[in-house]
Amino acid sequence: MALKAALPAVALLAALAGCARYAPLPLEGTPALARNLADLRHDGVTLGTPLSLSDIARLAVENNPDLRAARYRRGVAEAQVLEAGLLPNPSLAGGVSPNITTPQATTTAWFAGLTQDVKSLVTLSARRAAARENARQVDAALLWQEWQVIAKARLLAVDLIEGTKYRQIVVRTRALLAESNVRAEHAVQAGNLTLAAAAPGVAALQATEAQLDAIDQQQQSRRHQLNALLGLVPEAEVPLASSSDLPPLLPDQVRLLLPRLAEQRPDLVALRLGYRAQEATLRGAILAQFPALALGVTGGIDNTNDYYVGPGITMDLPIFDRNQGNIAIATATRQQLREEYAARLAAAAGEVRAMLDELPLLETQLARLRRELTAATRTAERAEAAFQADNLDQRSYVDLVSTRLAKEQEIVTIEQSLLERQVAMATLTGAGMPPVALTPDGAPS
């Protein structure tokens, strides 16, 4: 009898032993920013030398704070798959009825019953399918987020590299104008030049100084954005190569990728997986029209010491609520996801086609500017020789050399635009990524 009395306590202790236990995880009070490049994860990247665009992209994927946080969503999604696949627990009921007033009673009555929710079993398969597709959607969305971080890192690096080139040309322009203004000031003091004649040179120098200040502000902002992307403190130094090493992406390659956008771009794959998850949710809502049903068995002994046992059933009557509300929500959500996918696919294709249409114009302008630069360079060289021989006045000499420098600035601007479009097209088409196709069961591969 003592052993029988101890059995419930033993069962309870065994159940508690298998339960999860709470452990505190305090928040950090200091920003988790690296002080320098050496503090970052840098597998495959050689530090101490100027970094290429590929190096920057690798550092960004490994160290970006937002990506580190996003990767933990996979754990949440896997936990949801686990939760959706668990069978509902059966319910145990029992009671004791001691005799109080009935003379015929010979013993204390008791009963015990075991029931199982059948409705949860009916919708189990649909819930599992929805959770699996949601987990796969998280994987595809994370891949797209990584691809976007790579694109942003490349774009910032391109802008910094081309901005440095542009700044160097502006510095040369400022030096030319500053030297010219010094000579003009001497001429004014000697009475050989009026202040009115010297004023345009002073204004041009001030405008160039303002332009240089704006460039420095923009470059500093870009450096801060790149450091934030890498998880670095703003003041950390990130040495960049002097030229962009973007992989070539020809228009014909882009056109070949356009029909495969739905398989190539992870965000579109994520939307398709989300749509499949919603279809499973809709199937589950339709199956949930099945009335709440619990089946079980109940047994015990009454006060006259007679034993009894028999089946039991509990069922909702679907008179008012036939789950029509949840079915309507799931149906509307599925339609919304369908339209969002179609809109995203159309927008992606439209953006790529627009960029392809812009490329010929930019390339034509770049070719023309390069021809003009060749002519302007020859003219500037002749002007310098004539100026040194006192056969050309200072104002004409400065104007001709400034024309050459202005052409160089225009060329750098167009080249930067072309590189930015190359980064954008690679991002929008998923160029350089392996195809993220869907297997027959919906899993990304």
Q: Where are the domains of the chain?
A: 49-86+123-288+323-429, 88-119+289-322
Closest CA relative to residue 221, chosen from 152, 151, 156: 156
Q: What is the pLDDT of residue 220?
A: 96
CATH number for domain 49-86+123-288+323-429, candidates 3.30.930.10, 3.40.190.10, 3.90.850.10, 1.20.1600.10: 1.20.1600.10
Q: What is the pLDDT of residue 105?
A: 65
Q: What is the pLDDT of residue 144?
A: 83
Closest CA relative to residue 411, chosen from 362, 445, 342, 444: 362
pTM: 0.79
Question: What are the b/e assignments for 34-68, b being 16+ CB within 10 Å?
Answer: beebeebebeebeeeeebbbbbbbbbbbbbbeebe
CA 358/CA 310 separation, integer angstroms: 80
CA 98/CA 298 separation, integer angstroms: 18
Tally the residues of the chain: 445
Q: What is the pLDDT of residue 442?
A: 45
CA 309/CA 311 separation, integer angstroms: 7
Q: What is the pLDDT of residue 101?
A: 65
Q: What is the pLDDT of residue 440?
A: 46
pLDDT in tens, the chain (445 residues): 444 445 455 555 555 555 677 777 777 767 778 888 888 888 888 888 898 888 898 888 888 888 888 877 777 777 777 777 777 778 888 888 777 766 666 778 787 888 877 777 777 788 888 888 878 878 878 888 888 888 899 999 999 999 999 999 999 999 988 988 888 888 888 887 778 877 888 888 899 999 999 999 999 999 999 999 999 999 989 999 988 888 778 888 888 888 888 877 888 888 888 888 888 888 888 887 877 777 778 877 877 777 878 787 777 777 777 778 888 988 998 999 899 989 989 998 999 899 999 999 999 999 999 999 999 999 999 988 888 888 888 888 888 899 999 999 999 999 999 999 999 888 888 776 655 545 544 444 4
Question: Cα angle vertex 179, ends 175, 181, to 5°?
Answer: 115
CA 105/CA 103 separation, integer angstroms: 6
